[in-house]
Structures are given as structure tokens and as C-alpha cells.
Structure 1
């Protein structure tokens, strides 16, 4: 059975707190019945002996306080959602709804409420479950500590620099995971395999429109091995597809049942999701930067922090100088599945073209982008450096077009690598000759 839907942020926001709350509530029943039917004489001297009315009052106060704290928690979360959607980026809601601290906090408060309500049922005129009440008091203490930690976590959530750092960490982790255990020989084999497109003669359509999400690569490899066929995914994760577009190519014609099985192993979502963490994180950072550069927000330093984080993540990733594919083989060594992946050059184009286009009138931002090109140039291969050189020349043309002072334009040029400055001088010379 496919349980992928459980990873959806809004599903997690419901199921995780509910699971924690029910587990804590069940603990009340276990301790309460155990205390009712088992002797606790050995620990009675260490327990606080309470009158029945006092016990009910304590449990009622704990239940009411836990429910009030739960209401406060969700109110604060909704306020954070509103701030994130209005000031940061609407797509950051996925990060907030899947935040584990929010879920655990709601679960503890809800569980404490259930624990106290169920514990009241064990209080009788001639019997007080002192051990159960001690557990409720311990949960109340935990609620206070968790509420303090929750408020601190929420304060960090609305701090844009912390959010940019968190997104960047996710991006770097995803890039490292994608490039793990890849040697030079394997890269050459991937590139060679991708170029063999003439062998694919059968097309499999997507079946429905949406964004390409998770791909069950192991199951697809198993299906391809059984059918003695090689499959090639046509789009990278995060790309949008129409229902009638070709999603997969195969090296021979397949029956309808096999095609249906293949289509079921590819998740197509109506909206972008973290099933494609690299593309999702890059787009999220790009959205934050573009929103910060918009006239309505005009927050250049947020955009600068985003560009610095992007250059950090891409510079530390293992360089891939051409578009590659992740290949999967059967036990006999035959290639059965190829999944396309964006190269570092592709990611640079995806991120820096929109940033450069939005920064022509902002000389401070242009200088920051030029520094990012210099950092990336020092860590990437020749093909990526050629891409960066084209970006740098376009950036210079962009600031020249905006009509900045020559001294300001020189500030942008000075932070570029010497090879890029030389290319710019040659460009100007060619322009004068024309």
C-alpha cells in the first residue's frame, strides 16, 4: 500500500499531534487501572495524599490549562502562517506545517487534556489515584516547558535569516544526497547512457497534469527488469507536465497493464512539493529574494542573504558539468532506468537569471551577485565557469542599461574574477569596432 500521502504537511499536522495525544491519553488509562487493581502501598509514602475534591480540582485545572495552551498554540501558528504568506513567501507554509516542534507541542497539550479528563473518572469518594495525579502534574510541568520552547521556536520561524539558513541546509543536504557515491567513471557512464535516445521507441504519457514529485525508482527498476526493457524519465523532479505529455520512453512496446504499473510509481502533484527537495528549495530561495527586491517590500539585505546562501549551497555541491541521469541496473548489469537530474549549471541558470533581471536598478544587489559568481567560479569546473562568464557579462549589460554611474558599474566589475573582467573588455572592444 502506498503511504506517501502521510508525508503531506497538512496530513502530518493532523496525524502526528493526534497520535501523541492519544498515546498520552491511553497512558492515563493504563496507570489509572493499574493503580486501581494493584497495590501501591510500597510507594504511598512518597506520594502526595489528596482528598477526592482536591484531586478533582487539580485535574480540572490541568485539563483547562492544557486546552487553553492548545488554543494559544494553534492561534500562534496561524499568526505565523499569515506573516509567512504575506511577508516571506506563501510556499513557506509547507515548511511551517511540517515543523516537528509545532506538531509535538500540539500533541503534548492535547494529550495532557485527555490524560487529566480520563484521570478524573478514577477519582471516587473512597479512592484517589495519587500516582495518576502525579503523572498529570508531571505533564503540566512538561507543558509549561514545552510552551516556552514553542514560543522560542516560533520567534525563530518569523526571523527571515534563520529561515533562509534552514532552507539552505535542506538544499545542501539534498545536493549531497544526490551526489553521494558518484565517481568520475560513473558520471561518464551516466552521460553516455543519456545520449542513447535513439533506442527509445515507445512513449508513456503522464496521465494527469501536475508537478513531478516522488519516483519509486526501485519498483520501476523491478518492473523494467521483468519486462526486459529500459525506461527513461523525460522530466526532472519538480517539472510541470500535462496529462498528454510523454513522461517515460521505453526501448520496446509495452502492454497496457505494464504501462499502468509504471504510471503508478510516479507521483504527480497538483502543486510543488518537497518530494523534489533540490528544485523546491532553489525556487523557495528565489521567491524570497524576488519578493524582497519588489518595490512593495524593497528589502535588499534579505535578497543579499538569499544570494549568499545560494552560492554557499551550490559551491559546496559536487560539480556536474553536463546534464546527467541517475541510472539503475539489474543484477546482470543492464541499464533498466534512467532518471534525469539537473546539473549545477542548470541550477545556476534557474536561480541567477531571474535574480540578475531583477537587480539591474539595484547596484548593491548587483555587487552581491557579482561576488556570488566569483565564489562559484572558484569551485566549479570549466563548463560551469563558461556559464558564469555569460551570466557576468549579462549582469554588466544589465547595470549599464539601468544608467548607473561609471564608478558604480566599475564596483560591480571589480569583484568579478580576472577572466570575466577580460571578457568584458573584449566585449566593449568588439562593440566599439562595430
Structure 2
């Protein structure tokens, strides 16, 4: 079954919003009130109620009106506390981290609990009536449920107060962003759009020079809108390519910014397709937004952690311990990534025909996104630079090929050079030299081992440099 990535993206955005869960709770409060009132009026005359469950019309009205008014007041207090926390978090750690704070489930359910209780009480209050001097239509069970909802909401409020003091702490924010990064890696690597070609496919089912040349000279498809690519419907594009018997190359990937009329695809085929319909179909497979999303963009969460670390190392904040927390989480994520198979750039249909050529994410791109900026700012702190080296050593224990080893050593060498140029105390620099020596000793055997993989980061880097120098041949694919 093909999963519509656009709907999944919308679902993610709804779940991560501050309004989705409270609205669900509000609707749940209305439904609960209807169910309880129906129960009351169906069974009230059939049961003899205990004394502690019975109430009067005036008592029920007083209880329900007090609960509904009090709950709405507390909702305002909870929202105020939430806004203050978001403001402090944004000013101290940057606006990028607000995405993880807004979608905090405890905050959403706390607001929802009070709104649901208030609405429940209002609906039940409407049905409490008095005719003359006779009590009539008193929903005893419904009033008791309102009291139970109120007690539960107060317990939730106590937990919320504890929780709101915790989530503003740097380690909690870093852990939340790292959790998003881990989930993103698990989803994206390996990313399967179509069937990757088996290594034993005959030459006729592998990408040929003619196919490379055809894609290079393919019909360009332009973007009809502007924004960051949040998701791409890979399965939809694969089905479109099979239906039209064409090959599609995607030079952009999730996380990239698109301006209007930017090239988003190259289509090579028999030339009989309606270009207008093809442009609409391919544009429809791209979902754009005002910000990046971690669903298909692993670097989204990486950049959020990197921003926290860079901000913590700025002279105005000078918080190296937060930077250390970010480095630890990033190195753990790179360890996980190093153990995974990188997705292939070429995607084939079930018959072995080339259909999609994508700009894939790689270990190298994530490594650069994670440590390039941090490394530059960390040169002023030997403690943070040493933790960077420890992170590289941790990653080195999980790398499995020569190109990953080269990427790790490259970052380590630049880190060492930056600290050396900053002229720190010789004893601190000596520690970094010792760490670099251990790292080099650990990774050199991998660099001398033949690499069976053909889809790694170093190859992409070489291809990109070749393309920029104008020496690319028909064998190079974006």
C-alpha cells in the first residue's frame, strides 16, 4: 500500500500543534456529557442512589457553574505559563527548538483536560432544570463525573507544574531534539522508493551511459511555488514514471529551499508526454512549507542541535556544557547512522527499469551538518574540542568503510588544526593530539581496506567537485 506522504506530513503538523489535542479533548467532553446525560435519564428512576451521590438542582447548578468557570480560568494560567516558557526557551536556545516545545504532549493534554472538563460541565449544566418547587431532571451521575473530572484535572495540573520546570532545562531540550533525530534516521535510512537494484542484476538492468546522457538532456520541470521541501511523494513519482514510461531525476531533496521556477526534476522519455500535465503531476508530489520537517529531512534535527551548540558557545551565553550535551547526542546519532545502509541514488521498478534518480542523503552530508559549525566555534574552548574528539572516537567504533573513516578523520583533523591555531595551553593541545592519534590508529586499517560500496559520501563529494570544475562527463548523475 502506498502511503501518502503529504497526508502524513499534515498529520504530523496537526499532532505537533498546540490546538489539536485540546480540540479533541473538547469534543470528548461534549460526547461524554451526552453519554452521561443519556445514562442518567435512562437509569435514574430504576436505581436507588446512595446519599453521597444525590444532589439538588441548586447544588448541581452551583457545582457545575463553579467547575466550568474555574477550569476556564486555569486554562488561561496554563497558557500563560506555556508562553513564558516558550519565550525563555527561544531567547536562550534559539527559535528552532520551539518546534519540539510546542508539540509537548503534557502541555497539550493539560490544556485539553481543563477545556474538556469545562465544556462537559457547561453541557450538563444546561440540562439541570427546576420546575416550580419540584426538583426535576437532576443528572446525579453526570454531576459526580464532573467532580471526578475536576479532581483528575487538578492532579494533571500538579504534574504540569513539575513538567514545565523540567522542559525548560537544556538537557531536556537536547534529549527531545535527539529523539526526533533518532526517529528520522530510523525512517530515512535506508529509504525505499521503488526496488533497489540487486548487485547481481544483468547489465541491461543497471543504469547505462545512454540513460545518464538522456537524463542529462531531459526536459526540465519547474517549481510552481516557493518554500522548503518537507516531503516528496517518492512512490507517487515512481508510479508516474512507470505509467508514462519515463525516467525522472530529482536534483532537490527534502530540506532544500525552492524558489518559483526552480528546476525540481528532469524527465527523459519518448517525448510524447503533455508537459503541462507532467509539470502539475510532479509539482503535486512535492509538499512545501515555511520551515523544514524531520519526516524526510534528517538534517532538520541535526541543524537544530547544532544551532543549540553554536548558540551556547557564543560569548553572550558562554555555556560549554550545553554544547557538550549536543555533541554527545549528535555523535550517538552518527553512530546509529554509520551502522545503516545508505540509500541508493538510482531507483528501479519491479521489472528492473530505471525510473528515478534522486539526490540522496549520505553519511558525509550529515557529518558536515552536525559538526562543521560547532567545530568552528569550539576552537575557542579546548574542553568542547576534546569532547568533539571523544565524539569522533565514538563514531569511529561504528564506521564500516573507508569513506566514512575519511569523513571522521577529516573532521578530527580540522578540529585539531583549529585548536592549534587558537594557541591554547600546550597541555590541552597535547591531549587533543593524543586523541587524534588514537583515532587515526583506529581508522587507518579501514582506509586501507577496499570499499565494496558504490553509494557513499566521499564519492558524492568528488562528483560535486568535478561538476563544479566543469569536468563532469555523461557518467556523472546528480
TM-score scaled by structure 1? 0.88
In 1, the alpha carbon distance for the partners of 2:191 and 2:425 equals: 49
1:100 counterpart = 2:117: no
Q: Structure 2 matches for 1:205-244, cutoff 5 A?
A: 205-244=222-261
1:296 counterpart = 2:316: yes
1:330 counterpart = 2:345: no
Give structure 2 stretches of 5+ with no counterpart: 444-478
In 2, the alpha carbon distance for the partners of 1:354 and 1:206 equals: 30
Partner in structure 1 of residue 406 of structure 2: 386
Aligned length: 421
Q: Residues 388, 43 of structure 1: CA spacing in aligned structure 2 closer, same or farther, 3 A cutoff?
A: farther
1:70-100, Cα deviation, whole Å (9 max, x unpaired): 1111111111110111011201111122222
Partner in structure 2 of residue 268 of structure 1: 288
Partner in structure 1 of residue 455 of structure 2: none
In 1, the alpha carbon distance for the partners of 2:169 and 2:439 equals: 38
Q: Residues 340, 71 of structure 1: CA spacing in aligned structure 2 closer, same or farther, 3 A cutoff?
A: same
Is the CA contact (8 Å cut-off) linking 1:119 and 1:133 kept in structure 2?
A: yes
Partner in structure 1 of residue 303 of structure 2: 283
What SS class does the counterpart of residue 359 from structure 2 fall into? strand
Question: Which of 369, 391, 394 is the aligned partner of 1:375?
Answer: 394
1:155 counterpart = 2:165: yes
Is the CA contact (8 Å cut-off) linking 1:320 and 1:343 kept in structure 2?
A: no
Partner in structure 1 of residue 54 of structure 2: 49
1:251 counterpart = 2:268: yes
What SS class does the counterpart of residue 79 from structure 1 fall into? helix
Offset of residue 359 of structure 1: 1.3
In 1, the alpha carbon distance for the partners of 2:144 and 2:200 equals: 65
1:346 counterpart = 2:346: no
Offset of residue 285 of structure 1: 0.3
Offset of residue 266 of structure 1: 0.5
Partner in structure 1 of residue 459 of structure 2: none
Q: Structure 2 matches for 1:413-432, cutoff 5 A?
A: 413-418=433-438, 420=440
Partner in structure 1 of residue 84 of structure 2: 79
Partner in structure 1 of residue 186 of structure 2: 176
What SS class does the counterpart of residue 352 from structure 2 fall into? coil
In 2, the alpha carbon distance for the partners of 1:98 and 1:242 equals: 29
Greater helix fraction, Structure 1 or Structure 2:
1
In 1, the alpha carbon distance for the partners of 2:280 and 2:298 equals: 28
Is the CA contact (8 Å cut-off) linking 1:9 and 1:97 kept in structure 2?
A: no
1:314 counterpart = 2:334: yes
Offset of residue 236 of structure 1: 2.2
1:84-141, Cα deviation, whole Å (9 max, x unpaired): 1101120111112222222222122111111111111222232221011011011111
In 1, the alpha carbon distance for the partners of 2:198 and 2:375 equals: 34
Offset of residue 23 of structure 1: 2.0
Offset of residue 383 of structure 1: 0.8
Q: Residues 300, 386 of structure 1: CA spacing in aligned structure 2 closer, same or farther, 3 A cutoff?
A: same
In 2, the alpha carbon distance for the partners of 1:9 and 1:83 equals: 24
Q: Residues 188, 67 of structure 1: CA spacing in aligned structure 2 closer, same or farther, 3 A cutoff?
A: farther
In 2, the alpha carbon distance for the partners of 1:170 and 1:382 equals: 28
Q: Residues 373, 185 of structure 1: CA spacing in aligned structure 2 closer, same or farther, 3 A cutoff?
A: farther
Is the CA contact (8 Å cut-off) linking 2:30 and 2:116 kept in structure 1?
A: yes
Offset of residue 33 of structure 1: 3.9
Question: Which of 60, 63, 67 is the aligned partner of 1:62?
Answer: 67
Over the aligned positions, Cα root-mean-square deviation in angstroms equals 2.9
1:269-297, Cα deviation, whole Å (9 max, x unpaired): 22223344411110000000000000010
Is the CA contact (8 Å cut-off) linking 1:370 and 1:413 kept in structure 2?
A: no
Is the CA contact (8 Å cut-off) linking 2:227 and 2:258 kept in structure 1?
A: yes
TM-score scaled by structure 2? 0.80
In 1, the alpha carbon distance for the partners of 2:32 and 2:123 equals: 10
Is the CA contact (8 Å cut-off) linking 2:248 and 2:267 kept in structure 1?
A: yes
What SS class does the counterpart of residue 13 from structure 1 fall into? coil
Partner in structure 2 of residue 14 of structure 1: 19
Partner in structure 1 of residue 471 of structure 2: none
Partner in structure 1 of residue 473 of structure 2: none
Q: Which deviates more from structure 2 when the two are superposed, residues 341-350 or residues 299-308?
A: 341-350
Is the CA contact (8 Å cut-off) linking 2:196 and 2:344 kept in structure 1?
A: no
Partner in structure 2 of residue 111 of structure 1: 116
Partner in structure 2 of residue 25 of structure 1: 30
Is the CA contact (8 Å cut-off) linking 1:89 and 1:291 kept in structure 2?
A: yes
Is the CA contact (8 Å cut-off) linking 1:233 and 1:247 kept in structure 2?
A: yes
